[in-house]
Amino acid sequence: MLRLADLHTHYGLSHVLQGVNLTVGAGEVVGLFGRNGVGKTTLIKTVAGWVTPSSGSVEFDGAPIAGLSPDAICRRGIGLVPEDRRIFPGLTVEENLELGAMQVPRRGRAETRRKLDAIYARFPRLGERRAQLGTTLSGGEQQMLAMARVLVGEPRLLLIDEPSEGLAPKIADEVFALIESMRGDGIPVVLVEQNVRRALDVVTRFYALERGQIVFEGSAGRGPDRDGLMHVLAI
């Protein structure tokens, strides 16, 4: 579904991504781990079109997308849940979700209503608060709203940046359970997460990033790979 080959990205003179190679298969949840400032967020923003790569290739479902605008990449089926969640101020929960539904062109009002009802069934807390302003929700509820807003647009690939950041452990567990359910639905996910030990229970494979380069990769189901990752990250 996703293939990065020799990907380089700069912020001015700062060479952030330095020849990254990465793949995500259909139905996989792939973890992207590393210390702060090594390029994880830059990587997924490059995939989503928020940052333009300097060189290299990004292919989604076999088609090149590097350099396309964020809205063009979104319409192709890549959804991004950013670390800061970006809940629209002044809009209710339902209005935030309706904006997410606009990712699907030519969807009728009745179909949008059915999709919203399905989202409320999956996120019952949001259904209870559909008329509440999105920015007045708790941190965990805002994270759920950010994820639901992307899901209502029926993404074919989901990029999630630090979903447990600032959440209480119990709420973070709920968020990880939602990500695991996406794997059950067959939605491929790239997950950036600092809580590596908890994330390893959700992902199928992982990559470790250091100074803009992939320095280790492995399977979450293999003990030696997990031990190797902890050694690389010095956890």
> Domain 2-87+155-233 adopts which CATH fold?
Rossmann fold (3.40.50)
Determine the Cα–Cα distance for residues 199 and 89; give it in Å rounded to an integer. Answer: 30
Q: Residues 6 or more apart from 139 whose CB is under 8 A from it?
A: 166, 167, 171
84-85-91 Cα angle (round to 5): 125
- pTM of the predicted structure, to 2 decimals: 0.92
Spans of all domains in the chain: 2-87+155-233
The pLDDT tens digits along the chain (235 residues) read 999 999 999 999 999 999 999 999 999 999 999 999 999 999 999 999 999 999 999 999 999 999 999 999 999 999 999 999 999 999 999 999 998 888 777 777 888 899 999 999 999 999 999 999 999 999 999 999 999 999 999 999 999 999 999 898 999 999 999 898 888 888 999 999 999 999 999 999 999 999 999 999 999 999 999 999 999 998 5
